[in-house]
Amino acid sequence: MNSFLRLSLGGLLLAGTATVVVPEDASAWSTIGGSLGLTQRDYRIYDNFTDNTCHDNTTAHSNWPEYTEVEMSAWKAGAEWGSRSFGDGTGDGSQNNVGDGGANFNFVWAGNAGNTGGFNGNIISPLGGSSGGVLAYCETPISDGWRIRFYESWTWDDGPDSVPGSRMDFQGVACHELGHALGLGHSTAGGNPTMSAYATGNGVSDRSITSDDQAGIQQGVYGAMSSSMPEITDLQGSLNSGGTLIVVGNNFSTTGNEVWFNNNGTSASGADGDPVKVTGLASTNGGTQISLTIPTSGIEGGSIHVKKSGSGNSTLSEGHPFDLDGGQPGLNTITLSGPTLVFAGGVAILDVSRATPNARVYLLYSLSNTGTTIFGHQFDLGSNWNVLSNTLVDASGVGSYSLNVPNGAAGMTVYMECGSDTGGVITDSNIHQLTVM
């Protein structure tokens, strides 16, 4: 495999529909003129890729809920340009953090599209055939949208970590092309920036943007991230359709916030790429919490964003993982914590957090952790479970249990798990193992 493969902007752009601006300072990044407004932040993939190696990463990751394979690769490619870490920043073995843009800019992951869409549909898709050394290209950026095509003459790989040298890394090349979509041209800087015209090796290193790419998006297009940009640090309460979700973070407006969900539509035309917005939301606790009802239709899992009041680029937060209906087995919405060793005859305090606000949360126990179904919901406890206690959590979803440990329990290992039923929606916690001395 050659070390240098040409990446290209689309022919329409090269034909002169946009101007390449080379900055006058010593930086080597460039821009193509224009930027993506808040109505054009969505990005989707038409997964018609024929390479099996685009579809062999079937391992889910909790920071990237509900998507695997080349979809997960595309999602991470855009999230890398985000203002801050996506979720906890994990889930990519080739880089320490996903979300390094540091600018007033965030892409909005919108999942799958059903076809390639038009020039401004904001969809990534495969294209049969080849064009010399060109890997992929971005058509008609910038402000009214874009389309990205990947030549199928290359063998594309969905990762997620290393990629054999005989294949090209989808995520790294997508990160480059999405850099064009957001308004960057090619860079001549050393150090192999993602926006170099040439891929490095098979492109894995291009997944992680460099200081030159950061300078480009910050200084050349969207400005360095404002200290007032909203930030999501956690989701509490319910993740279920119709449930009460609490978005926790910073810099939310007092009133007029919006929470953006991933649209579940796949039509390439129309509004299916646009986020589903819950609008008119007030914040509490000094702009750090927004409580809302999760829509019961039209959305899917993926990511959510907070859009504060106002119209500037700095009013839209980075994306945060949102696992609708806790879709992955083993992902728990309630957190149960406490000591792992207690004395028979003593007292054990267990703490509950991230529960649905003001809900009654039951503490169940079992002597096994083989899993069982209770009221149609999958729990981690074994089938020989019993209710040990219950508590009414507060408006922040926080509560605790004080347990008198019986003398007869000495030497036992007990598994504990929370369960709650709010309006017919059952949520559960992590399993907590307690050994009695």
Q: How far apart are CA 378 and CA 29, in angstroms?
A: 51
Question: What is the pairing mode between strands 42-45 and 108-112?
Answer: parallel
CB of 133 or CB of 371, closer to Zn ion? 133
Q: How far apart are CA 61 and CA 91, in angstroms?
A: 6
Q: How far apart are CA 431 and CA 59, in angstroms?
A: 22
Residue 187 CB, shortest distance to Zn ion, in Å, is 10
Cβ partners under 8 Å of residue 153, min gap 6 = 129, 130
CB of 108 or CB of 178, closer to Zn ion? 178
Amino acid, single-letter form, for residue 212: D
Residue 184 CB, shortest distance to Zn ion, in Å, is 9
Residue 179 CB, shortest distance to Zn ion, in Å, is 7
Residue 197 CB, shortest distance to Zn ion, in Å, is 6
Residue 7 CB, shortest distance to Zn ion, in Å, is 4
By beta carbon distance, the residue nearest Zn ion is: 7
CB of 102 or CB of 203, closer to Zn ion? 203
Q: Which letter does DSSP use for residue 295 in this model?
A: P
Q: Which residue has the tokens 């170099």?
A: 196
Instruction: Give strand pairing partners of 277.
Output: 260
Chain centroid to CA 159: 17
CB of 27 or CB of 390, closer to Zn ion? 27
CB of 199 or CB of 247, closer to Zn ion? 199
Question: Is 46 within 8 Å of 124 (Cβ atoms)?
Answer: yes
The residues binding Zn ion (CB under 5 A) are: 7
Residue 319 CB, shortest distance to Zn ion, in Å, is 24
CB of 21 or CB of 347, closer to Zn ion? 21
CA 28, 33, 36, 37 dihedral sign is: positive
